[in-house]
Structure 1
Amino acid sequence: MADAQDRYARGMATRRAVLGERYVDAAVANTDPFTADFQKLITESAWGTVWARDTISRRERSMLTIALLAALGHHDEVAMHVRATRNTGASMDDIKEALLHVAIYAGVPAANHAFKVARAAYAEMQDDKAG
């Protein structure tokens, strides 16, 4: 079980580094018996295994994640990961390029909506910075 504990600890550290303390603290606080196994799964697998790999940078992983989420129409997750770019190093131009790929390979409607979601997330980030 030490391996699973290591993945969980590594996952929680990576998750906090990418999504930010406030977001992760809220997710942990909202965990209940019904969602606990899901939170453990995503912390160990997504964050402790995939996001923790050093084969590609967090910037590149961020771009890939946003493109995939946009292509699949997961708009809340697109916004969350756009906000996370302040921690991953992916620039607005990087995300624009990723979404242009979405337009070609997953369809213009998916990219169109993702651009709207991303623009709103960037505006929110700017407001947070100003206030």
Structure 2
Amino acid sequence: MDEVPGNAARYRAGLAVRRSVLGDRHVDRAEIAATDFDQPFQELITEAAWGAVWARPGFTRRERSIVTLALLAALGHDEEVALHVRATANTGASREDICEAFLHVAIYAGVPAANRAFKIAKDVFSEMDGAKNVR
């Protein structure tokens, strides 16, 4: 991208945080896949979610990761749950942290939402553990 949209400093900070949390491969894929149609959306999430919220000093990346997982699970955003479970390798949130977050989801958002989140996390953990064993 040649021009940085909106708040350039916030965008750059957001891009750095997004890369550190989700990884260069994920961000590169998203940037390559962006078209004229969805480029404004990619810019928005980089600037707003990653630059304005994730870059704030109030929570650690671990804490933001836990909150994000609970919210995504409660809302039933399965693909995002999987993405953010993978991202815990970069945020420092442990499997115990994820378990605790999903227990909260069960009480405050419903057992079916937590049940689905636990299943997704187990699948992702299995994938991550398999990748470690291949190296």
Structure 1 distance, partners of 2:106, 2:23, is 29
Contact 2:73 2:105 in 1 (8 A): yes
- Within the candidate set 83, 86, 98, 1:83 is matched to 86
Is residue 132 of structure 2 the alignment partner of residue 123 of structure 1?
A: no
Following TM superposition, the consecutive aligned residue runs of length 4 or more in structure 1 with deviations greater than 4 angstroms are none
Aligned to 2:72: 69
Aligned to 1:113: 116
Give the alignment partner of residue 13 of structure 1, picking from 8, 13, 16.
Answer: 16
Residue equivalent to 1:92? 95
- 1:58 equivalent among 36, 40, 61: 61
TM-score normalised to the size of structure 2? 0.94
Provide the C-alpha distance between the structure 2 equivalents of 1:100 and 1:23, rounded to a whole number of angstroms. 28
Q: For residue 49 of structure 2, what is the aligned residue in structure 1?
A: 46
Unaligned runs of 5+ in 2: none
Residue identity (%) = 60
TM-score (norm 1): 0.97
CA distance in 2, matches of 1:3, 1:94: 35
Total equivalences in the alignment: 131
